Chain A
Amino acid sequence: MSAFDIYIKSINDVLEELKNSGRRINVFNVPSSCSELPRTIPVNIGGNANPGIILRQDTYVELGNPEAGSSAIMISTNETGLINDGRITLIGPDIPESADKSLPFGQVILIGGASLDDKEHETLQQPGFVGDKIEGYMIRSLPQNIWSRISKDGAAKGFNFECLGKALIYLYKSENPKIESMEIIFITSAKDDVKLLDNISEQVRKISKEITKENWKIKGYDIDCELDCSSCGDKSVCDDIRDVLKSRKKKGLVK
């Protein structure tokens, strides 16, 4: 799980760059335990908290419309010390001041847990993880981008990025007790600022893809191959190769 650690530093470099270029930055240090968080959030969270669709006319602000710019990154690490638990950083305008606007949206979620493994990283990355669990917040279905809406009702209740960050921390931590620390960064300042995340996002995606591939392999599938192993005519050849590798590994001939 240390494969992503280098990108935590890259994200900090992006933050530094934006800070140095004079962007408005707000940092919120929030309680990070699941028992404290819900009391501090002005909207409902949890299963079906937002059962409806937020229509165009009921939208207070839209985040990450692909035309405005959008990027989302989720990184997990076993080095919990790399993450500032409970820190939410906002670069750019907040929700209350953005009525009827379509803001660019970058979202970075950093997760730390000493016992988190690859399988859990994959589960946490599953699409629709947050889904309909935050009142007044709707994530639209567009793979590889994050595109969402905040309702007028939600905004009237005080929905802002501090609130969104808290809700995300609560939802992730309640879903997986192995998560020990979480930090969230939102960027809404400009499309080009959000674009700074693209390269990191691409690299993270490549590593995640490798993890997924390995997890499928454990189940007996090679997802780069158009066949599943049990129906492949060459299965016996692959099995032999695996046996040879195993025995060479035992003898210490390969790492």
Chain B
Amino acid sequence: MINIYSQLMSAANKSLFGLTLGPQNESDGPFIMGNGDFFIEIPVAFGCSFSDLTLTGAMGTGLPNAAELIDKGTEVGVESRLCNAIKVATYYLEAGLLKTPDMIITTNSCCDAMDTLGNLLNGYKPWAHIPRFNMHAPHSYDDASYEYMGKQLRQAVKFMEDVTGRKMDMDRLREVCIESNKQCQLLLEFQELKKAKPCPAEPDLAREGAEFKNWSKDRISPQVTEWLEILVKETEKQVKEKKGIEGVDEKIRFLWQDLAGSWASGTVLARLQKELGAVCVMDYVSFGTWTPVDLSSEEAMFTSFGKRFLLEDPMNRQALHTTDLFCNDILQIVKDFSCDAVILPAHIAHRDTNSRIKVVRDMCHEKGIPCLVLGIDIWDKRYMTPDVAFDRMKTFFEISGLL
């Protein structure tokens, strides 16, 4: 049966794939390419396309020929343990499959693989003539860092203005931020609703919503706002009627402390939900911590952008900062969303996260929270198959007394 949630999921997916794998220049304006997230409100307000090459690679690992793409990426000669999403992006770049951008904007990033991709992008000879700008993100989260990062983003705008010969319309940027603030509020509202027991809607819709807002063809548009309003309204109804996810008898709630990647949602997580009533109420990427963009002045606006970039972009939050922040987020999610267990997928390429495994394990042990370390490749299911991951998680739930 097709319910409203399936319709929402399908609309968001269509728009997401439409941008990342379709023609990369959807608007008439200039086309910017980067190695990671930019503050997306900026290109939207400037009327240009922005392609995050990491995301393009990640989407590639969700295609039917993913294994072939990953192997081709490996053949390019990058380090063998490099993240497979980045390997696919590298292959796209080196094989000349990408549309030539008008500008390149890269940043040092939360992830060593994304940094490598930035270096490859900047050193790619056929694009040597293309103007480029490299932002420097500090690995800290305080007011001085937000201000510093805000200034970097302001300089990136100046760079875009210099290359194109046209000015950023600050009123338009403000308008885009108002819409974006509205969308963040709705995403946070949906997040609150996921606290209900049983979980009232497919929790992955939070991730889907965040991606639809930032990474799709319709990003920051009123269509996204409308999509989110429907999502929240329908889920409020479910909460009021104390209804859970259709066809799921919820028995366990758990946190998946990493990206869901390209295969886990549709395989192991879906099976756990359906067969065991084990619901993944939160993954790290769908944990929204957005504060609204401060629109009181241009400077305040850019400082807000800096904060969003450094602390509130999910993967930056997860990987760029201290173990203390990482652990506190786990505790907050477990408490607020009534999680019975923590799963550390320990994606093989997330070396930053994997260096924290022992700390997290000790903390969970101290607090009496069952914790399992999987050790999968979130982009390549050949490394640990969904069936093996399912069996390990099922056994873990059984021996923890949760099943």
Chain A binder among B41-49, B209-217, B330-338, B381-389? B330-338
B355 touches A226 (CB 8 A): yes
Whether a CB of chain B sits under 8 angstroms from the CB of A142 is yes
Whether a CB of chain A sits under 8 angstroms from the CB of B129 is no
- Neighbour of A228 across the interface among B195, B240, B358, CB < 8 A: B358
Nearest CB in chain A: distance from B219 CB, A: 21
B359 touches A140 (CB 8 A): no
Residues of B within 8 A of A144 (CB): 289
Q: CB-CB contacts of B331-359 with A at 8 A, as 1s and 0s?
A: 11101110000000000000010011011
B292 touches A141 (CB 8 A): no
A142 touches B188 (CB 8 A): yes
Supposing A56-B189, A212-B324, A213-B324 touch, asked if A227 and B355 sit within 8 A by C-beta, the answer is yes
Residues of B within 8 A of A226 (CB): 323, 352, 355-356
Residues of A within 8 A of B332 (CB): 127-128, 141, 143
Among residues of A, the one whose C-beta sits closest to the C-beta of B237 is A55
Nearest CB in chain A: distance from B210 CB, A: 15
Identify which of residues 211-242 in chain A touch chain B, using a CB-to-CB cut-off of 8 Å.
212-213, 216, 219, 221, 223-224, 226-228, 230-231
A143 touches B329 (CB 8 A): yes
A143 touches B324 (CB 8 A): no
Whether a CB of chain B sits under 8 angstroms from the CB of A21 is no
Residues of B within 8 A of A131 (CB): 335-336
Identify which of residues 213-247 in chain B touch chain A, using a CB-to-CB cut-off of 8 Å.
236, 239-240
Task: Compute how far the CA of A144 lies from the CA of B143 in the bound complex, rounded to whole angstroms.
Answer: 13
Whether a CB of chain B sits under 8 angstroms from the CB of A126 is yes
Supposing A128-B332, A228-B355, A230-B358 touch, asked if A216 and B192 sit within 8 A by C-beta, the answer is no
Supposing A52-B196, A221-B359 touch, asked if A57 and B236 sit within 8 A by C-beta, the answer is yes
Whether a CB of chain B sits under 8 angstroms from the CB of A53 is yes
Interface residues on chain B, number (Cβ under 8 Å): 34
Task: Compute how far the CA of A231 lies from the CA of B332 in the bound complex, rounded to whole angstroms.
Answer: 27
A128 touches B336 (CB 8 A): yes
Task: Compute how far the CA of A231 lies from the CA of B333 in the bound complex, rounded to whole angstroms.
Answer: 27
Whether a CB of chain B sits under 8 angstroms from the CB of A202 is yes
Q: Which 8 residue pairs across A and B have the least CB separation, nearest first?
A: A128-B335, A127-B332, A223-B323, A66-B291, A141-B336, A223-B324, A228-B358, A67-B292
Q: Apart from A67-B292, A141-B336, what 18 extra A-B contacts exist at CB < 8 Å?
A: A52-B196, A53-B193, A56-B189, A128-B332, A128-B336, A131-B335, A140-B188, A141-B195, A141-B333, A144-B289, A209-B324, A213-B324, A223-B359, A226-B352, A228-B355, A228-B359, A231-B355, A231-B358
Task: Report B's interface with A, CB cutoff 8 A.
Answer: 142-143, 181, 185, 188-189, 191-193, 195-196, 236, 239-240, 289, 291-292, 322-324, 328-329, 331-333, 335-337, 352, 355-356, 358-359, 362
